[in-house]
Each structure stands twice: as C-alpha cells, then as structure tokens.
Homo-oligomer: A and B are copies of this chain.
Amino acid sequence: MSLSALEAEYFASPLSLDELSTPCLLLDEERMEANARRMAAHLGHMPLRPHLKTCRCWEVAQRIMQGTSCTVATMGEAEAVANLGAQDILLAVGIRPSLFARSRALMAQGIDFKVILDSMAMARALCADAAAHEVVYSVLLEIDTDGHRAGLAPDGDELCAIAGLLVKAGQRVRGVLTHAGAAYNCATPEEIVAMADKEGADAVAAAARLRQMGIEVDIVSAGSTPTALLGTPNPGLSEVRAGVYIYMDLVQAGLGVCKREDIALSVLTSVIGGFPTGKDLPARVCTDSGWAALSSDRGLERLFSAQGYGLACDMELHPLQGLVVRDLNQEHGMLCLDDTASAATRDFVLGLTPASRLRILPNHACATAMMHKCVYLVRHNRAVARLPLFGGW
C-alpha cells in the first residue's frame, strides 16, 4: 500500500451519516480526544508508548504519540508506521526467526526497533542470526506478571541467564516489558488496581536484577488500558503502554475502566428486515452488520454472562435499552427486544423504515476495528474524513 493511501482523506464538505455506505466504522472525534486527554492527565510525567494495534491508523497515532515512539503487534504494522514516520518502534509480540530478516531491514533503515523474547531457545536463535549478519538487536525481556500468556518469572534464574547470553553475544538488552493481560479477567476495579501494582512492581524488580548484572537498562515498560488507567504508574517504570483507551469499548465499560458514553468507536448499520407491519413489534430486526463488520468477539461474556455482540444505539449514540444484538451471521445482525426494552426503544423499533440506521458500540474495539479497512472520523455527527487503516503481518 502506498504511503498516500495510508493518510487521512478529509472531505471538502462533511457528509451526513446517511450518505455513508453501510456497514462502516465511525470514530467520534470528541470522545476520542477526551479519552486521549484522560490518559495524558492520569499519567502526568510518565511517558506513554501507545499501542497502535487498536487503531492501526496513522491519523489517530499522530494525535497520541509522544514524539515518534509507539508499540505495534505485527511486523506489517511496524513497517507501515516506519514508512509513515515512526522512529522508535517496539514490537510487543515475541520475535521469531521468520521475522529476523525484516527486523534487520528496519534497523538498517535507521529505526530504533525493539523486539521481545522470553526463552533461552529464542535468545540463542536471535544471537545466531545476529552473528551471521553482524547486527546488534535491541531486546527487551518479556516478564510474566500474571501467569496469563507469556514471559519470564521476574525473580527466576532464567531471566539473568538469558540476559547474560545476549550480552555475551554482543546483543543490546534494553530492558524489560510486561503486560498484565489477566486484568481482563478481574471482576472489580480494585482487583485491577492490585494487578497494576503487581505489573509495575514486577517489571521494576526484573529491571533491577538486570542492572545488578551491569546492564544499562533504559526501558522498563508495562501496561494495558485497565492497569494504566485504574492504577498509579510505578515511578520505576520508564513508560506505560496502552491501546484500547483511545477508543474504549463495552469490555472496558464492563470492567469499570470507562463509561459507555466514552466509547468513541461504533459501527454504522442499515436495517434490512423486520419492519413493523402495524402496531405489533417485530420478532427481530435484521441489519447488514454481521460478524464481518462487528467481529465475533463476545466481550466479557465469560465474566458477566451473555451480553450480545455489541450495544445498539440510535444515530446520536443513545443506547436503545433492551434491543439486544442477539446473533450474528456473516453479513446479518439479528436484534431482538428483551424484557428490559424501554418505551423509547419500542417506539424506535415501531418507527423503523428501509431508510433507518443504527449505530452499534463494540464489545472489543480492537476486534471490531480489525474487520475494517477504513474508519470515518465523525465531528458533530457528520463524517469529516476517511481514515485508512494499516495492518496485516
């Protein structure tokens, strides 16, 4: 994709949301800016290295990056933002041999590119590649603070053994990284605060052990949207990472990290069936937003039981209480009224016509955004720009 194809296209005149082809992704600028301000105010002097895997959008990235530093989840994202101007890029998913050549190419471009790993096996593979190609990788050791996914024990022998191997092979150990993804399994904000404390403390402790080995640690990186916003950053961290915070979603609202009114992302959808034929409410309302537009992400269902595939709202983003996104097929959304349906919701449904549109707030903003190639930037309920999304591997 060419660079210009990844830049925002601002319209000469704003478009009514009724003019957009559906389904499509909408980004409310005012809510997004408020989310950005909230994170900045909360972190104070603690630097933020935003994770761009949520937005995958250069226009959004430019509004939240401090300088040229960012986090990405794929090499495709890294290459895209490097071409767009990011200089200080952290790939926060474990490096593997198939990405060594492309990593070297980024470094040869002058990018301060950092990779992570959490095993002696991968460290050896990286050292072998570095020796064969006479390069020095910048490596962060991934630390496990929650038993959730990946990482080395902050107090285990392996951490120092791997660091020692890398240093001996002439590689640059820049520090540590951790992500308390288990924050998404917390039932209360208090649990998230405790997890944030542990996330920060473990990362700082691991970094201290590297420093005791004589390693010059310049990066002590931790974070997730829940822990970043509900916790207080450990002053021993050098940076905090977060991505979803800029959009927010129903998962974050369910965790108590934000309010529903903070959710900046929505899917614009048209009603294609289930029009009332008289005074009776239809059994279901059918829309053109299936999982191809919303994703199949069921959000916090595991934690809080069934919740549907998003929150149906009217065109001004007022939730339609009791109109549940019950089921999705590829290009169909099936919405049903449940017992909690308000009078306003019933009136809304009774008034549906072939021209009717809805907006669906996403369970998981990363997953919903991933289904789209562009997002429309919405200001005062009109689309002012089309923002292309990058991505891929």
Decide: B97 and A355 in contact? CB cutoff 8 A: yes
Complex: chain B residue closest to A76, CB-CB = B21
Known contacts A122-B275, A150-B273, A329-B149; A94 and B286 CB within 8 A of each other: yes
Interface size for A (C-beta < 8 A) is: 59
Interface string of A12-36 (1 = CB under 8 A from B): 0000000001111000000000000
A114 part of interface (Cβ distance < 8 Å): no
A359 part of interface (Cβ distance < 8 Å): no
- Mark the stretch among A189-197, A246-254, A289-297 that contacts chain B: A289-297
Complex: chain B residue closest to A357, CB-CB = B98
Which residues on B sit within 8 Å (CB–CB) of A73?
A: 292, 330-331
Which of B97, B288, B366 is A354 in contact with, Cβ under 8 Å?
B97
Decide: B93 and A332 in contact? CB cutoff 8 A: yes
Decide: B121 and A353 in contact? CB cutoff 8 A: yes
Which residues on B sit within 8 Å (CB–CB) of A393?
A: 21-24, 293
Complex CA gap A150/B270 in Å reads 15
A138 part of interface (Cβ distance < 8 Å): no
Complex CA gap A117/B94 in Å reads 49
Complex CA gap A330/B73 in Å reads 8
Least CB distance from A180 to B in Å reads 13
Decide: A270 and B96 in contact? CB cutoff 8 A: yes
Least CB distance from A99 to B in Å reads 8
Complex CA gap A371/B297 in Å reads 13
A373 part of interface (Cβ distance < 8 Å): yes
Which residues on B sit within 8 Å (CB–CB) of A296?
A: 295-298, 367
A120 part of interface (Cβ distance < 8 Å): yes
Which of B270, B275, B284, B355 is A119 in contact with, Cβ under 8 Å?
B275
A181 part of interface (Cβ distance < 8 Å): yes
Least CB distance from A358 to B in Å reads 12
Which residues on B sit within 8 Å (CB–CB) of A330?
A: 53, 73, 366-367, 370
Interface string of A307-348 (1 = CB under 8 A from B): 000000000000000000000011110100000000000000
A262 part of interface (Cβ distance < 8 Å): no
A178 part of interface (Cβ distance < 8 Å): no
Which of B119, B150, B291, B332 is A297 in contact with, Cβ under 8 Å?
B291
Would you list which residues of chain A between 87 and 118 have a CB under 8 Å from chain B? Answer: 93-99, 117-118
Decide: A120 and B297 in contact? CB cutoff 8 A: no
The 3 closest A-B pairs by CB, nearest first: A94-B272, A121-B275, A125-B354
